[in-house]
Amino acid sequence: MPGIDLSPLRVQFPALAIKDAGRTAVFFDGPGGTQVPQRVIDAMSHYLAHTNANHGGAFRTSRESDVVLLGAHQGMADLLNADAANEIVFGPNMTTLTFALSRAIGRELAEGDEVLITRLDHDANRAPWLALAERGIVVNEVEFDPTDCTLRLDDLAAKLNARTRVIAVGYASNAVGTINPIARIAEMAHSVGAWLWVDAVHYAPHGPIDVQALGCDFLVCSPYKFFGPHSGVVWGKYELLERLRAYKVRPAGNLPPDKFETGTQSHETQAGVLAAIDYLTELGEEFGAPFTPQFPGFSGRRLALKQALAAIQAYEQPLFEHFVAGLLAIPGLSFYGIRAFDRFDRRTPTAAFRLTGRSPQQVAEHLARRGVYVWAGNFYALAVTERLELEESGGVVRAGLAHYNTYEEVDYCLACLREIA
């Protein structure tokens, strides 16, 4: 893995050629949004130049636009292994979609019903559910273990009861990288008749997602985190999407996904999402052969997409292990989260850390002056930094790796950190 030549892959991403501080910039900012391949830019530009029209017209550009929109829905269905394209809902971002769907779900709940959220989650998977308290819904919070930032399933089990109607949990923490055991949590939810809502925004660029195997009822993600444009996506079981009463204008369709895709969508964005899926499909076809036995029953684009994410996972794991080993060797560095690398399903390649005597913002600014792009703060995972008692002192530094990052970039970042340790 250290000797792999990423140049044919990296050259597809124009941003990776940006110069900063006298060298090629190092993008470790992926948890806040990944860079995009040229084909995504081209697809959005082509749509606006040649296919730009509103939905449902009788004329050529509108019909061609509708083909693009259907293709984007089908592409996301393939990526997530959904039953059909009409289980995919597009929106401006995951937060807006979660607020909209949580309000619709709230219409199904009665005063005294309960929702479980976690302190490990981004606030986009907390605030919409906390808002249901206005309707008399009881919202309980599941704790995580601050020693390794893993979700406490014992606490979840203790708070689960016959009044629980929804569990909202992240697939992976955007702050500390912890991957939660979603299939197990789905079993727990369904044992009391509750629905499971999964925020897969942070996990999506790092591993295959199969909503059928996970057993969840809803799953949300953001294409701009997996090499596409700024957008949000909800997958839901069709019978649940059909059942929910949407907040919409009267002429809009009454069936999913139309009833949730309020107003005119960003059609050029969906063109870009489809191009990002095409990128992953080709990646899976090129590098996926060793992973084919992992996905029996899959074929065509669905198999290629699973293989692509498996290949990405296999590359990122040792790269991140190398990064963490270097971080732990730096004097005065505190690392937050799981340190073990025995399984792919424990954490994403996202590091949260602090340096003694330096605020996270000071560390991020030092790295920025050397052309290394990381984040500092709480990243809207406010409950995490509060539980770790770090919020008042500036949160943490977050450096996230993607499949386009290299060992040379990791070593350069570590050297820059050692300068100020």
Over residues 282-307, mean pLDDT: 96
In sequence order, the 6+-apart residues with CB closer than 8 A to the CB of 415 are none
pLDDT the model gives residue 1: 47
End-to-end CA distance of the chain: 29
Rg (CA), the chain: 21
Are 353 and 180 within 8 A, CB to CB? no
What is the overall mean pLDDT for the chain?
A: 97
DSSP output for 349-381: SEEEEEETTS-HHHHHHHHHHTTEE-EEE-TT-
- Does the predicted TM-score (pTM) go above 0.95? yes
Question: In angstroms, rounded to a whole number, what is the distance separating the alpha carbons of residues 85 and 165?
Answer: 26
Question: For 335-356, how does the pLDDT look when each residue is reduced to its tens digit (9 = 90+)?
Answer: 999 998 877 789 999 999 999 9
Question: For 16-56, how does the pLDDT look when each residue is reduced to its tens digit (9 = 90+)?
Answer: 999 999 999 999 999 999 999 999 999 999 999 999 999 99
Q: Residue with structure tokens 């029953």?
A: 297
Residue 3 has pLDDT above 70, yes or no: no
Task: Specify the DSSP class assigned to residue 238.
Answer: H
Question: For 197-241, how does the pLDDT look when each residue is reduced to its tens digit (9 = 90+)?
Answer: 999 999 999 999 999 999 999 999 999 999 999 999 999 999 999
Question: In angstroms, rounded to a whole number, what is the distance separating the alpha carbons of residues 263 and 273?
Answer: 19
Distance set, CA 161 to CA 156, 166, 408 (Å):
10, 11, 50
Q: How many other CB atoms are found less than 10 A from the CB of residue 145? A: 14
Question: For 236-291, how does the pLDDT look when each residue is reduced to its tens digit (9 = 90+)?
Answer: 999 999 999 999 999 999 999 999 999 999 999 999 999 999 999 999 999 999 99
pLDDT the model gives residue 114: 98
Q: Which domains are present in the chain?
A: 7-28+305-420 (3.90.1150.10), 42-277 (3.40.640.10)
